[in-house]
Structure 1
């Protein structure tokens, strides 16, 4: 089966959003990776982030579809505005300071709560994408894979590189969301 140009555009756009949202997990992973977590802790945290990067946009897309049926005329503008807001929020979080220094992951509950907090961005992005009638399966697979891989990569890089690269990754993610949201607004 060959993809049309519009389908390739959707795959590319969703991939960019998935990577942008995964930057949060990436930068957090770098901060936590500097603590020399065990391989088991890194695998569990990466898997947990990946699962929440599937669940949160799925819930958001369901809400977005419901909301889209109510506000049909302004759904695209609202969705673009949400993506811009998410990008600005990511940039603000970078300016506010490093959040990885205070985080502990000694228990399953702490790991799940951390994964949930890192995946909250995916909920609002899912809400926006639900307004656009986006392919649900493709979206959650791309978001889940990106979340898992970026968290794992961040954890591994954190062991060797240090914290400076995480801030730049999050800045890049914020600008990607701003760019894509702006395309829907203008």
Structure 2
């Protein structure tokens, strides 16, 4: 696997996280670069670890992972998205947008958008690709894409205000539905 292939794989694997980060950034009350970088680090670490786990599991479990990874991603993103929509539609009077997201909320979203990376890691074991350079590239790319996505979400959030949480929830559900559609239609 050459360097260009690794970078393209990293970009492809980080697109779901980028879209989710835009939604997360839109919900926050004017996120700063430090918060964007914190979220990017969480997503990047998770995105770097999951292909290593998949690679370690290897060929024996690859068929089991790919058989249901899309359902796990769909379920997690659906629940997280529904919670965001519910929170966005709830009329609590003068509810302020959060300054930062909690670690577990970010980690759950990061995991949900990186489950397919585990199956990719398992398939890379078949090809006898050294996983560490790939995992580091995927993690670094995700870190960058999520950090930029949070800051882009900041602009979107400023434009649409309170509806940002509803839109962010819809985006997460849409990502989950797209992952499910890709796998069920054979496009993945």
Query: Is the pair's TM-score, using the shorter chain for normalization, greater than 0.5?
Result: yes
Alpha-carbon distance in 1 for matches of 2:185, 2:123: 13
Q: Number of matched residues?
A: 169
Who is 1:88 aligned against? 75
**How big is each residue's C-alpha offset from its partner over 1:76-129, in whole Å with a ceiling of 9 and x where there is no partner?**
4513521342023212332344357798447xxx76566445423355344333
1:128 aligns with 2:119: yes
Partner of 1:23: 19
- Segments of 5+ residues of structure 1 without an aligned counterpart are none
Map 1:107-126 to 2 at 5 A.
Answer: 115-122=106-113, 124-126=115-117
Find the counterpart in structure 1 of residue 160 from structure 2: 161
Q: Given the two structures, how large is their TM-score scaled by the length of structure 1?
A: 0.68
In the aligned structure 2, how far is the partner of 1:15 from the partner of 1:172?
19
| Contact 1:91/1:174 (<8 A) preserved | yes
Q: Structure 2: how far apart are the matches of 1:173 and 1:30?
A: 16
Given candidates 51, 54, 64, the residue that maps to 2:54 is 64
Counterparts of 2:76 and 2:32, CA distance in 1: 26
CA RMSD of aligned residues (A): 3.6
Unaligned runs of 5+ in 2: 89-94, 125-130
Asked if 2 retains the 8 angstrom alpha-carbon contact of 1:53 and 1:143, the reply is yes
Question: Distance between the aligned counterparts of 1:73 and 1:81, measured in 2?
Answer: 15
TM-score (norm 2): 0.67
CA contact (8 A) 1:18 1:143 kept: yes
Give me the whole-angstrom Cα distance separating, in 1, the residues matched to 2:102 and 2:32. Answer: 10
Tell me, in whole angstroms, the C-alpha distance in 1 between the residues paired with 2:75 and 2:47. Answer: 19
1:124-167, Cα deviation, whole Å (9 max, x unpaired): 34433321217334422332222112111112211112314323
Equivalence map 1:39-78=2 (5 Å): 41-68=31-58, 72-78=59-65
Q: Is the 8 A contact 2:81 2:168 kept in 1?
A: no
Matches of 2:70 and 2:97, distance apart in 1: 27
